[in-house]
Amino acid sequence: MIGSGIFVLPGLATKIAGPAAPLAYFIAGAIVVPAAFAKSEMATAMPEAGGTYIFVDKGMGPLMGTVAGFGVWFSLLLKSAFALIGLGAYLVVFADLPVKGIAIGLALGLVLLNALGVKQTAGVQRGVVFGVLTMLLVLIAFGASSIELNAFAGFFDEGPSGLFLATGVIFVSYAGVTKVASVAEEVRNPNRNIPLSIMGSLALMMVVYPAVVFVMIGVVGVDSLSGSGIPVVDTARSFTNDIGVDFVAVMAVLALVSMANAGLLASSRYPFAMSRNALAPPILQRLSKASGTPVVSILVTGAAMVLLVAFVPLLEIAKLASAFQLLVFVLENLAVIAFRESKVDWYRPTFRVPFYPWLPIIGILACVALLTQLGTLPLLGAVGITAVGIAWYQLFGRSRVTKQSASLDALRIRATEDLVSTTNDSLQSPGSASLLVIMRQGITEDRERAVLKLGLQFVAPDARVGVVHLDGPGQAGGSVEHHLDEVAAETLETDEVEVDEQRTGMRRTALLGSVEEHDPDLILIEIPSLSRRTRTYVNDVRWLREHADRTVLFFHYQGLAQVNTIVIMGSGGPADVAKITLAHRIAERSGATLRLGHMLSEAASDAEADSIHKYHARLKEVAGIPTESRVARAADLFSVLDVLTEEADLVILGAASRISTRFSDLSERIAATLDKPTLTVRPAVPHQPSVRRRLLERLIY
């Protein structure tokens, strides 16, 4: 963390904000506080390599995780490159050296150092940090006696705009404060040490940064400090000799190299973590056999840093680094909100953000406000890196990544709670007010009675029932009204059912006309086995299912008799309310047991499985009749179909609204595979999530 914020940026901050530059450092630190708390909390729940990328990915999904990964990677690279270029001004104190060449050489040396292992890196870091902190404390102590308070005259002359622009430019000074979380897997006792190091570092630097800049202005003066590339050396010259100045310059070089090293250490873990989550090429996961470090990721990151050192101007690097860091802090604050609001069981941090949710919300608003003060180029840079992350995810990661996150779990929970509530309301209704039954002309009497009996179980006692027979070539059917009366008396214990029978040989247009004439709530269609003789009929009723704005049921008879077990296949889909309501009405009359069956992929997370079990448990409470749950994991549904439908007398499935070929609809494939009576349900109104939820799903997926 300690580097450019002290050794390069004070001159630029003073040029922009004047004597108010120390306040800019303090404000920047205050804006970091919410993200520091948020990252401390998430790190104790998930001490894994990758830091911000892992937290945003698991909290908000792989799309936003990809954006965060790119944002953090670039911000750290820019910060490290900025440090390496900035140290050139200090090297000039000793000799006239080629700044770019020295910076590139140092970058290559840091790549080698990181490839050797974290222990070697950590040893260097400790020595440099101790020396730099000591030097800064000495600078404050000796410089304090030389401060001229007149230097702070006109403290707010540059106004709020100057103050906040300076705050945005020097914001990169705090970019390293939370990066220890990116190597959390390599930290001992992360539950204690990570929050302590993050909050301790931030608290220390919110004092040291403003104090050092205050001394610089008080000793050197605004005019002399403004725009200086070596502000610490300029300050030291005011109260020490050449040896002291050389010592300060040496420490500045070491500090800037240290900061670049820390940036490379942390940033190289982001491609490594993204690769482990299938969002980057697998080669980035390769570890060094000697040191255990992600050597390929380090080499790729180091190469990018060398390119930045060679070709990007110093000031633009600082602004872009600050902009990317502000974007990252926004995502971190959003991620902790996503975890908290999702209430997933596996998220169990040992450290928690105080004053939740107000602190993360304030952090988000402050970062966005500061981002707007940096100017057009940094703002476009933040937008650009977001676009790059989205494009990378769509082109590379979307088809490979496992789409799991706390936000997705929360959406599942809320969606199933909505389904449970709607199902409960539906179960309280007396049944459909009108039913239209469609059958082939000439089916057997037993099949006809079974279809009618099934349909009448779904209607209210005073319902209107229409029956349409479709004639085939050379067919002439008789009346079914006497069957309907008998079945109604058996099923509904009433003879008040209003019956309307029709026969037609004009198929699709006439079918749709019958639907418009009867205006039913529910359409029940008898489906025979597909053969040459029945193909036209099946195609016609499939067409009707696509075009009728009603709940449509396809009934595959298969000899339905006594119903003891009803299996409801699939969970969380748009047809759930209708499936469960229909099954419940049958079970109430027959005394059958309901079984909620669901298949999960082998790659499904424990959180996804848990959400299904909880959904089934809530449905059991609502149903109020014997209900069991059966959830299986498999690569293919048909491999566990027998297990899920074992001993079923009737299977109820959800159906797609659009069918283009014989087996394009999964429900028809299942019905064709099962040797059991099957009812497929296409709800009248396809499930349409709210605009807010669709937007969230786009961000999460």
What digits encode the pLDDT tens for the residues 521-552?
A: 899 999 887 777 778 888 888 888 888 888 89
Write the CA distances from 146 to 6, 151, 357, 560, integer angstroms: 19, 11, 45, 98
Q: Look at 605 and 236; give whichever has higher pLDDT.
A: 236
Instruction: Give exposure, 123-150, as e/b (b: 16+ Cβ within 10 Å).
Output: ebbeebbebbeebbebbbebbeeeeeee
SS3 650: strand
Mean pLDDT of 50-78: 79
Please check whether residue 232 lies inside any domain of the structure. yes
pLDDT, residue 90, reads 76
pLDDT, residue 115, reads 73
Please give the model's pTM, rounded to 2 decimal places: 0.66
Same domain, 391 and 507: no
Number of Cβ atoms within 10 Å of the Cβ of 157: 12
Same domain, 338 and 441: no
The C-alpha torsion from 597 through 603 and 609 to 612, rounded to 10°, is -50
SS3 629: strand
Q: How many residues does the chain have?
A: 701
* Lowest mean pLDDT, pick from 264-278, 427-441, 525-539: 264-278
Number of Cβ atoms within 10 Å of the Cβ of 439: 24
Same domain, 579 and 511: yes
Same domain, 513 and 384: no
Q: Look at 8 and 164; give whichever has higher pLDDT.
A: 164
Mean pLDDT of 89-115: 74
Q: Look at 610 and 663; give whichever has higher pLDDT.
A: 610
Q: Look at 158 and 240; give whichever has higher pLDDT.
A: 158
Instruction: Quote the CA–CA distance of 443 and 527 in Å, as a whole number.
Output: 11
* Lowest mean pLDDT, pick from 116-120, 132-136, 605-609: 116-120
Most confident of the ranges 284-298, 368-382, 550-564, 615-629: 615-629
Going 292 to 297 to 301 to 303, the CA torsion angle's sign is positive
Please check whether residue 691 lies inside any domain of the structure. no
Same domain, 17 and 134: yes
pLDDT, residue 661, reads 44
Q: Are 342 and 409 in contact (CB under 8 A)?
A: yes
pLDDT, residue 66, reads 82
Q: Are 447 and 481 in contact (CB under 8 A)?
A: no
Q: What is the pLDDT of residues 40-62, one digit of tens each?
A: 898 888 877 667 777 887 777 77
Q: Which helix (H) or strand (E) holds 566?
A: strand 565-569
Same domain, 319 and 448: no
Same domain, 507 and 605: yes
Same domain, 397 and 451: no
Angle ∠(119,120,126) on CA atoms, nearest 5 = 85
Q: What is the pLDDT of residues 200-237, one digit of tens each?
A: 989 988 998 999 999 999 888 888 888 777 888 888 88
The two tokens of residue 219 are: 């000793």
SS3 575: coil
Q: Say which CATH number the domain at 132 has.
A: 1.20.1740.10
Same domain, 393 and 431: no
Instruction: Quote the CA–CA distance of 363 and 365 in Å, as a whole number.
Output: 6
Please check whether residue 692 lies inside any domain of the structure. no
Please check whether residue 688 lies inside any domain of the structure. no
Instruction: Quote the CA–CA distance of 646 and 630 in Å, as a whole number.
Output: 10
* Lowest mean pLDDT, pick from 70-84, 94-108, 142-156, 668-682: 94-108
Write the CA distances from 524 to 189, 435, 532, 552, integer angstroms: 63, 7, 23, 6
Please check whether residue 697 lies inside any domain of the structure. no
Tokens 């403004």 map to which residue? 226
Q: What is the pLDDT of residues 127-146, one digit of tens each?
A: 777 888 888 888 888 888 88
Q: Using omega within 30 degrees of 0 as the cis cutoff, is the peptide bond preceding 357 cis?
A: yes
**pLDDT for residue 474 is more than 50:** no
Q: Which one of 401, 436, 452 terminates a domain?
A: 401
Please check whether residue 391 lies inside any domain of the structure. yes
pLDDT, residue 662, reads 44
Same domain, 209 and 357: yes
pLDDT, residue 124, reads 66
Q: Say which CATH number the domain at 588 has.
A: 3.40.50.12370
- Whole domain around residue 569: which residue ranges? 421-682
Q: Are 593 and 700 in contact (CB under 8 A)?
A: no
Please check whether residue 668 lies inside any domain of the structure. yes
Confidence of residue 471 (pLDDT cuts 50, 70, 90): low
Of residues 580, 588, 612, the one with CA closest to residue 679: 580
pLDDT, residue 401, reads 60
Confidence of residue 361 (pLDDT cuts 50, 70, 90): very high
The two tokens of residue 64 are: 């936003």
Confidence of residue 473 (pLDDT cuts 50, 70, 90): very low
Please check whether residue 410 lies inside any domain of the structure. no
Q: Are 232 and 56 in contact (CB under 8 A)?
A: no
Number of Cβ atoms within 10 Å of the Cβ of 442: 15
In the chain, the percentage of residues whose pLDDT exceeds 90 is 15
Confidence of residue 668 (pLDDT cuts 50, 70, 90): confident
Q: Are 389 and 66 in contact (CB under 8 A)?
A: yes
Same domain, 324 and 440: no
Q: Look at 406 and 16; give whichever has higher pLDDT.
A: 16
**pLDDT for residue 263 is more than 60:** yes
Number of Cβ atoms within 10 Å of the Cβ of 426: 15
What total number of domains does the chain contain?
2
What is the pLDDT of the chain when averaged over all its residues? 80
Tokens 């506080």 map to which residue? 33
Angle ∠(420,669,526) on CA atoms, nearest 5 = 80
**pLDDT for residue 407 is more than 70:** no
Same domain, 367 and 507: no
Confidence of residue 338 (pLDDT cuts 50, 70, 90): confident
The two tokens of residue 59 are: 């909290």
Mean pLDDT of 61-70: 81
Q: Are 697 and 409 in contact (CB under 8 A)?
A: no
In the chain, the percentage of residues whose pLDDT exceeds 70 is 83
Q: Are 467 and 537 in contact (CB under 8 A)?
A: no
Helices (H) then strands (E): counts for the chain: 27, 10
**pLDDT for residue 518 is more than 50:** yes
Mean pLDDT of 549-574: 86
